[in-house]
Amino acid sequence: ARIVVLVSGSGTNLQALIDAENAEKARSSAPAFGATVVAVGADRTDIQGLDRAEQAGIPTFALRVKDFATRAEWDRALRDKVAEYEPDLVVSAGFMKLLGADFLAAFDGRVINTHPALSPSFPGMHGPADALAYGVKVTGCTVFFVAGGVDDGPVVAQAAVPVEPGDDVESLHERIKTAERALLVDVVGRLARQGWTIDNRKVTFQ
Ligand code: GRF
């Protein structure tokens, strides 16, 4: 399956997908990953996520909102650029912009996102910080299908992560990201190999 990954920062989720694909190539005995990253897109330039793609020889593009007259025009330009790569699945992994109606209409039901909290708890930009502030003992990460809202689409998979005494936002987010990378690779591989259906928010692998 062809996947386009959207990033805004360090790109460790992207790296996990690249590594899973390379592991499959390196060892024929490795379980088939079934997905290949055909392009990496970003909403900004000079981020490590784009460097990781370039090091892996993967085409990249960056579309900044401020370069467009309106947000809707940026959304349509992103849609058209992603469409050039004919993805089976679009993976928003640490991408910090909300994808708009035109983008989601073009890739309806084929856009997944990772969130470093157990949805529906702690949506938005500061999931780990909000979990820490709330004082939960268990948080985690969620992979879901983007449906236009903020981190509220149909859930594909989740992983629980303990909050340790003495955690600060960084230590907690790093622990979450370790689980998140494994979860994302598992989900992307299964979606790529098995296909899926979504019925009334329930995701079923075929
Ligand atoms: C991930 O935890 C993602 O869920 C959140 O920001 C982090 C991005 O990490 N939105 P990276 O860019 O994949 O390293």
Q: Has the ipTM of the complex gone over 0.90?
A: yes
Q: Which atom of ligand 1 sits closest to the CA of residue 9? A: 12
- Rounded Cα distance, 114 and 95, in Å: 9
SS (HEC) of 13-78? HHHHHHHHHHHHHHCCCCCCCCCEEEEEEECCCCCHHHHHHHHCCCCEEECCHHHCCCHHHHHHHH
Binding-site residues sit at 11-13, 71, 96-99, 113
Across the chain, what does the average pLDDT equal?
95
Which residue of the set 115, 175, 177, 181 is catalytic?
A: 115
CA distances (Å), origin 18, targets 7, 51, 131: 13, 13, 29
Q: Identify whether 115 is a catalytic site residue.
A: yes
- Rounded Cα distance, 7 and 166, in Å: 30
Predicted TM-score (pTM) of the model is 0.94
The pLDDT tens digits of the residues spanning 25-66 come to 777 666 688 999 999 999 999 999 999 999 999 999 999 999
The pLDDT tens digits of the residues spanning 120-160 come to 999 999 999 999 999 999 999 999 999 888 888 999 999 99
The pLDDT tens digits of the residues spanning 74-129 come to 999 999 999 999 999 999 999 999 999 999 999 989 999 999 999 999 999 999 99
